[in-house]
Structure 1
Amino acid sequence: MPNVIIRPARADDADFLADMVVAAVNWSPSDAHWTRERVLATRELAHYVVGWPRPGDFGVVALADGERAGAAWFREFPADDPGYGFVRPGVPELTLAVTEPWRGRGVGRKLLHGLLAEARARGLSAVSLSVASGNRAARLYVQAGFRVVGACGDSDTMLLTWPDNAPGRGAGPD
């Protein structure tokens, strides 16, 4: 694996996070037709990054050989404006994407593990995500402990829970 450093996402990463939403929706080469402009003009996608960071948002960015190679972040959505992986209020939704040159090289796994460690440290009891059918990232999420709890279109809604992180119980052991 290349030299990969994971650092917290910052306000000046907002444009890169928008590019990562583009990468996430263009995961399949046969469907790669979304631009940043189109993503930001589509409310259901733009709300993953507009106003980054809002209170409660947190994420990580991978730097591989000195360049931004991917990002993963959590954002909570209300029931009246849910994300694709919405489960319930109070459960933040994960977005993760890796730039094409770095896919399949362990960057996504490192991002996921770094973000989940931060989620546990913050005392979260559950996190969710949406992953399209056929996207190989689904295997990564299953290996991390996510389970399918529903569907939205051709995507699975997945949930990861940490019972020992129930509110008021602290982060618990790793």
Structure 2
Amino acid sequence: MRTAVTGEQQIRALRRTDHELLRVATHTTMNWRGRESFTYRDLDSQPHFSHYTDFRPQRGDFGFVAEYRGNATGVVWCLFLDASSPGYGYVSDDVPELSLCVFSGYRRQGIGARLLGGALEAAQQAGVARVSLSVAAENVAASRLYAAAGFRRAPEALDAGTQVVDLGQR
């Protein structure tokens, strides 16, 4: 079921207390194909997954939540993960890794583009030079959204799904 979002949609800053929202969003993005390949148990027990739910503004992490009538419709978050615990889209310690989730029923309404644009603008204002992410080539909708925002394959990354955007070129 799709819910049309109107002017009642709000965008707010992600908070340290939004752990459960990030847990659900991470689970959703990990299972983007629509079937559960990864469980919440996997997410909670494996550090290479669980660090995506560890939002720490004190290390520079930032993000935004889209809400409609008090319910989260999407979330974008950028984490400064380091080489000792890299994410799938890790490039370097000074490049935050972006994750984006728009929940089922709210997709194809511009929420993802709005959240992505806001996160990249916030990164640019904070003096961040580049932002990275990881996206499966088969995830065509996400790949198109990221390409439209200027993301390209990260030449220094081992995985072909790791992409970066140079914020000085936007």
- Category of TM-score, reference length = shorter chain: 0.7 to 0.9
| 2:33 counterpart of 1:32 | no
Deviations 1:19-40 (A, max 9, x none): 00001001002x4232323211
Mean Cα deviation higher: 33-42 or 109-118: 33-42
State the match for 2:127 in structure 1: 123
**Alpha-carbon separation, structure 2, partners of 1:158 and 1:118:** 19
Q: Within 2, Cα distance between the matches of 1:71 and 1:137? A: 14
What amino acid is the match of 2:126?
R
Report the Cα offset of residue 11 of structure 1: 1.8
Amino acid corresponding to residue 149 of structure 1 in structure 2? A
Q: In the alignment, residue 53 of structure 1 is paired with which amino acid?
A: R
> Is 1:57 paired with 2:61?
yes
Q: Confirm whether residue 5 of structure 1 aligns to residue 20 of structure 2.
A: no
Deviation at 1:5, TM superposition (A): 1.7
Aligned AA (2:131) = V
Q: How does 1:42-121 map to 2 (within 5 A)?
A: 42-50=46-54, 52-55=55-58, 56-121=60-125
Once residues 10 and 54 of structure 1 are traced to their aligned partners in structure 2, the CA distance between those partners, rounded to angstroms, is: 8
**Could you tell me which amino acid in structure 1 is paired with residue 5 of structure 2?**
P
RMSD: 1.9
Q: How many pairs does the alignment contain?
A: 162
Gaps of 5+ in 1: 165-173
CA displacement at 1:14 relative to structure 2: 1.1
Displacement after TM superposition at 1:77 (Å): 1.4
- SS class of match (2:154): strand
Distance of aligned partners of 1:12 and 1:80 in 2 relative to their CA distance in 1, 3 Å threshold: closer
1:161 equivalent in alignment to 2:166: yes
Deviation by residue 1:102-129 (Cα, 9 ceiling, x = unmatched): 1222111111011111111111110000
What is the CA–CA distance in structure 2 between the aligned matches of 1:45 and 1:104, rounded to whole Å?
Answer: 26
Please tell me whether the aligned partners of residues 42 and 49 of structure 2 are also in contact (alpha carbons under 8 angstroms). Answer: no
Aligned match of 1:17: 22
Shift of the alpha carbon at 1:72? 0.4
Q: Which stretches of structure 1, 4 residues or longer, exceed 6 Å deviation after superposition?
A: none
Q: What is the CA deviation profile of residues 73-110 of structure 1, one whole-angstrom value per residue up to 9, with x for unaligned ones?
A: 11011112211001112000001111111122211111
How many Å apart are 1:54 and its aligned residue? Answer: 4.5
State the TM-score, normalizing by the size of structure 1: 0.85
TM-score, with normalisation over the residues of structure 2? 0.87
Pick the structure with more strand per residue.
1
> Given residue 44 of structure 1, which amino acid in structure 2 is its aligned partner?
H
Most deviating of 76-85 and 34-43: 34-43
The answer for unaligned runs of 5 or more in structure 2 is none
Give 1:61's aligned amino acid: V
